[in-house]
Amino acid sequence: MRRIGVSLYLSKSTFEEDQAYLDLARKYGFTRIFTSLLEIEGDTTEVIHKYKRTIEYGNSIGMETILDISPALFEQLRISYEDLSFFKELGASGLRLDLGFTGLEEAMMTKNTLGLKIEVNMSSGTKYIENIMSYHPNKDQLCASHNFYPQQYTGISQTHFEETTALFNKYHLTTAAFVTSQVGQLGPWPVQTGLCTLEDHRFLNIQTQVTHYRLMGTIDDLIIGNAYATEAELKAMSEAFFSPHPLLPIDAYTDLLPIEKKILFNETHIYRGDRSAYLIRSTATRVKYKAEDFPVREVKPIEKGDVIIGSNAFGQYKGETQIALTAVDNLGERNVVGAMKKEAIFLLDYLKPWSSFHFVESMC
């Protein structure tokens, strides 16, 4: 089951703030909570009470919490990896190991009888997961997630992401990664510029980040790394994640004819299988709307990301929907009716022939 989640930073927030945020997130289908318990500062009893109260509230509305912990916390609380009952009593559904052990400990923890998931770190780029697997863990209670990166220019590269993720996909483990809100200011550290896994996502809107992950198809769960995302962001993430078809954001022209709007926003488009290096073609619209009128619009140069509908001058191709993959000549047979949002044009590189998609109005 694929899920979306939010992050909480309980040392920097009130229960009431977090409760309101969880209620809003749940409204849009969020069912995961990420929060850190890497160390306890101050009154241990008070800190534990606050975590327990928040986690139990999340559980009551159908949101499971994964606690980010480190080996140092085990030492601080005098907890053995052989007895994880402390975390069960907090109400947590699982533990994320920010720093790993030797591999044996992780494997043994997956065999806990409390039903706790053990989530390991995917981002290191070592043979960590192979080491864990060599100790024969209980795969039903083993999952994995990438890190997030508060500092600009330190998020992982696309290449590194693909290489490390493949190591975990090989074992068919549930995987997770982080996207970032462009509004949220709360995170684990005093200084942060967003909290994303991929550096290329740092300044993208959340809809585009989610669609990128969806088109890659290698990550199961997505979590917003910083708090608090706006309601608009929560809604956009939910729609992009749960939509039956990937959503491509476009800026449509304001003077569109009703038929042009209908083709853009009311149709499911399918990328024709005999692919071209120049255009993505959605040909069903030319059949469905062959009797409609598509007057020639102002003839404009066509650039990568432009969205096109065939004009009356296009013969049997009138009404065909296309997206330019590169600059192409326009002799008047192709009406440019809008353009992919610039920051989202790269998504076209991940769209595969015979895949479906919907156009949506881009987020501001």
∠ CA 242-244-155, nearest 5°, is 50
Query: Which residues, in sequence order, are bridge partners of residue 227?
Result: 186
Task: Quote the pLDDT of residue 364.
Answer: 60
d(CA 143, CA 141): 7
Task: Quote the pLDDT of residue 289.
Answer: 98
Distances (CA, A) of 247 to 268, 272, 313, 336, 344: 10, 17, 29, 19, 10
- What is the chain's mean pLDDT, rounded? 95
Task: Quote the pLDDT of residue 190.
Answer: 85
Tokens representing residue 353 in the block:
């022939």
Could you report the average pLDDT of every consecutive run of 10 residues in the chain (364 residues)?
Answer: 94 95 98 88 84 97 95 84 93 92 93 97 92 97 98 97 97 98 93 95 98 98 98 98 97 96 98 97 98 95 97 97 97 96 97 97 76
Query: Domains (ranges, CATH) in the chain?
Result: 4-242 (3.20.20.70), 249-361 (2.40.100.10)
Task: Quote the pLDDT of residue 363.
Answer: 73
Nearest of 306, 304, 309, 332 to residue 321 by alpha carbon: 309
pLDDT digits (tens, 9 = 90+) for 70-82: 888 888 888 888 9
DSSP code for 138? -
